[in-house]
Structure formats: structure tokens, C-alpha cells
Structure 1
């Protein structure tokens, strides 16, 4: 097969959790540009619908928006059932929903800790488990979990121990699932983005200040990443081009973790 053809995702079905905005939206768009039909799964139903509509109209693929709380096992299973009922299969999962709370470890409440761990780690597990069961039945699939360079290094100057711990957990979960599910022809990999300039973080970068100077000073490329710069790696991992990539961590961080 021609190498470029291996990147095509025509007629594939991809679920993107947290796909309504930011990194998830950019990754969903990239998959659609490669030919995949897209399911935007997000807690914000109205934004998910708007994103699905935009992708459908611009990329000419089938799209669906689903309201899903990834920390709720019943919600997650219903998502899988609905997608299989509508599309007949799930080829690709981009397991992306997440959040952060910046708080000093000594001041963080247990409620705050649990909120981050529950979404960033428990939610990733619940979705991977439910989709994984479907992929095991199918005999194939590709799962891409969104971790972070924060699962590899401890960020400075902001305090975010719960976020860092959750993303480190996603990395080891990815490796563990890859070890268990290789025999089912399921790929499980993770991308670890660095500091990204999204609609939510754009004001911070434009305002600048000591924290931004610190972040960019430790980034060899000297700039934040853009959401669309994750498109290539996501299409690669979702496609046949990455047929021997398994249990791997792909850092997309402008060189931050190279220091």
C-alpha cells in the first residue's frame, strides 16, 4: 500500500471525548479531514452539536454529537451502545476529556483532588474499558489517550499536583492496556502535549507575565503549540500507518521535556 494511503481513515468511526472545544475539536477535525466519521462526546451538548455541525459541513463526513459524562459508567456505556447502533462499529477512540485545578498541595481539598483524578484518570479508564470491550468483540481498534508532558515532569511555577498525578496515571494506564490488548489487535497509545494555545489559554499567553516567560523560557522552540499541531500525530496513531506503535508516549511539547 502507498504510504500516504495508510494515513487515510475513510469510513472509519471515531469517538472524540471532550471534543467540543480546544484540543479535542482540533483532533476531531483532523480525523475528519482524513475521512473518518466523527462522534463528538462532551458534557456540553450545545457546543458539541455546534462542533459536529461545523465538521460535517466543512469536511463532508457524517457526525454525531452526544452528551456524555465520562465519569458516569452508565453514560459511558450508553455512548458506546448508541454509536454501535448508529454506525455498527467503533474504529478509533480519542480519549481526551480532562481538566486541571491549580492549587498548592498543602491547601488542596480532598474534593478538589478527587474531581481532577475522577475526570482525568477514572474517566479515561471508564471510556477505554467500555470502548475496549467493543473493540475486543470486533477484533481491532485504535485508542489514543490524551495525557500530558505533566505526566512526565513536574510543572513550574504553577502548583498542580493532582493534574500531574492524573496524567502520569494515564501514561501507565496506556502502557498497561497496550500490554493486555495487543492480543486483540487493539493499539493503545498516548500523546503528551506541552503548553498549548487554545481558546481558553489564549488570553494568558497574550497577557504574558512571569509565568508565561517561565513556560516559554523552558520551551526550546520558545512558543506554545497550536491545537492543529496535534492533528498529524492523531491521524498517524488512528491509522494503519502506526501499525507497530504500541504502548508509546508521544510528547508534542516544543522540546520542553528534552531539557
Structure 2
């Protein structure tokens, strides 16, 4: 390619894309392939500088959680805690962390406030992050958690039903009391959480409810046997669609987030004793790895915020492509 023809490839209308004089001199003395690398490198550096500046100045406001009163069940640890952190990082200052043991929820609340104030202009008194003890399998306990949340914030805008358990038994060996407990937490707990959210959101004009299902709602995991878990998450997924239709005209959106295999602290502990299982899960995932909990942050904020305001009854899978194959 001639020098004249190559120069046409650099937009003349954008002076900021042109290289420095030293880069231009170096390019004139180089071969065509070398010249292209020099000029492209200058453009990459320019883009990096602008991107750094833009990150400080420009965000789509609809993704902000500022001014929203929120609740996350199962929020004291694991994926639920990562959702709490994502909300706070997106501007949320009013958050109820709901978990079975209130002292653990309160400890997580204190940790979140401390993290949020590091290298920040925010002060601990700027945050209303509370921990609430709640057994989501009990409708009465869920109602009490909402009562405390409403007493604190006066409203509720976004709720994430993240509380859940998983166990691995073969179908013949699965104890009935364990099956019942799993359904009570994963299915009934999600329903109680969503229903109480809607009861408070409808009078105030609406809100967003996110039910956390799993890729297991769509596929059968191997090699571990977990039929009740898979069917429970399929129920949660369809529950989100059904409630979304029921409440659509009342302003309450209900969507579903379905994670794939995630490296939570608990999962890491389990896999530390079974590296072959980890290799199997990774080999079955097209991206070749398990997810980090923070890989879900963007999706949960999108579903809970105004950025998804015309979205209801939908599922977002974050599974590294697992369900595609």
C-alpha cells in the first residue's frame, strides 16, 4: 500500500487520531506493516486516555441505583453479598440485607459500609444499610422483614430474591424432609419475597423484582445428581414469567437471573477436595472457566435499575455459554 493510500485510512476530520510528530517520523521510515502498527498503536493510546476520562465523567443514568430503596434476600454471603456490593457500587445507599441469621446480615452490612467509604467522599452516616434476620420459607417471617424495611426506608423499589440452597442426592436416596426444605426455601421463599414486594410496590407506582434461578432451570447438570434443585429453579424461572404477566399493568416488573457455575467461597471449598469435578465443569463450559461472582454484577444492576424498564418476564443467563451446547 502506498503512503498516500495508507494516509487516507486515517480519518482526516479527526485530528485527535493522528500520531505525534515523532511517531509520524518513525512511520515514514518504516515498512508498510511496521508503519501500520505504529499508527494503530497511537490510536489505541489515544482511545485509552479518552476512555479513562470518560469513565470519570459519563455513565448512563438509568443504571444508577442512587435514591432506590432495595432488599436482597440471602445477602449476607455468596452471590447475594455480591449483589449487595454491586448495588452499593452503583450508588445505592438504602439497602436491607436479609438472611437467616441476623447477626451475619448485620456484619455484612457493616462491611459494605466500610468498603463503600474507602477512597470515597461518602461517609458512613450517608448509608442506611441494615441487616434483617428472616427465614424466607416462612411467609410470616418474610412479612416481618418487609415491615422493618418499610419502617426504615418508607418505600421499596428493587428486590432480589437470592436466598437458596442446593444439595446433591440421587433421586432414590433423596430424603423427603430435605426435598421439602429445598422447595420451601428455593420456591416458596421466592414466591413470598416477590408477593410481599409487589404488595408494597403497587401502591407507590411500581418497582423491580429479580428472582435468582439458575442455568439448571434450562439444562440437566452433570455429573452431580440434583433433580429437586433443577426442578425448583425451573419453577422459579416460570414463576417470574407468570408474576410478570400478572403485575405488568400495575407497574411491577419481574425478571429472572440465571447464573452458571460460580466460584463462591463455598464452591471453592467444595472443589478444593474434588479437582476433577472442577475440570469437568470447566470443560463443559464453552468459555472454559467458571464464573467469578462479580461477573453477575452488571446483569443484576441492569435488571434492578431503570435501565431495564421495558423488560419483564425475561431471563438473563450468565453461564459462560453452558446452555448453548
TM-score of the aligned structures, taking structure 1 as reference length? 0.96
1:164 matches 2:230: yes
Residue 31 (1) aligns with residue 87 (2): yes
Secondary structure of the corresponding residue to residue 266 of structure 2: coil
Write out per-residue CA displacement over residues 235-254 of structure 1, whole angstroms, 9 at most, x where no aligned residue: 11111111111111100001
In structure 2, what is the equivalent of residue 230 of structure 1? 296
1:154 is the counterpart of 2:220: yes
Indicate if the aligned counterparts of 1:181 and 1:187 stay in contact, CA closer than 8 A: yes
The structure in which a higher percent of residues are helix is 2
Aligned residues: 258
Which residue is 1:175 aligned to? 241
3-state DSSP of counterpart to 1:200: helix
Counterpart check, 1:54 vs 2:120 = no
Aligned pair partner of 1:247 in 303, 313, 317: 313
Deviation digits for residues 1-41 of structure 1, max 9, x if unmatched? x8611111111111000000010000011001111121100
* Residue 245 of structure 2 is aligned to residue 189 of structure 1: no
How far apart in 1 are the matches of 2:184 and 2:270?
26
Aligned position for 1:215: 281
Tell me the SS of whatever aligns to 2:265.
Answer: coil
Residues in 2 aligned to 1:239 and 1:137: alpha-carbon distance in whole angstroms? 19
Report if aligned partners of 2:271, 2:277 keep a CA contact under 8 Å in 1. no
Maintained 8 Å contact 1:204/1:212:
no
* Greater Cα offset, 113-122 or 51-60: 51-60
2:125 paired with 1:69: no
SS in 2 for 1:100: coil
Q: Aligned ranges for residues 74-223 of structure 1 at < 5 Å?
A: 74-223=140-289
Distance 1:208 1:159 in 2: 16
- Take 2:174 and 2:274, find their aligned partners in 1: how far apart are those partners? 26
- Aligned partner of 2:102 among 45, 59, 65: 45
Deviations along 1:30-67, one digit per CA (max 9) or x if unpaired, are: 00111112110000222211110111222253200000
**Quick check: which has more Rg, 1 or 2?**
2
Unaligned runs of 5+ in 2: 1-57, 117-121
> Tell me, what secondary structure is at the counterpart of 2:254?
strand
Structure with greater contact order relative to length (CA < 8 Å, sep ≥ 6): 1
Q: Distance in 1 between matches of 2:167 and 2:269?
A: 18
Q: 1:16 aligns with which of 72, 76, 87?
A: 72
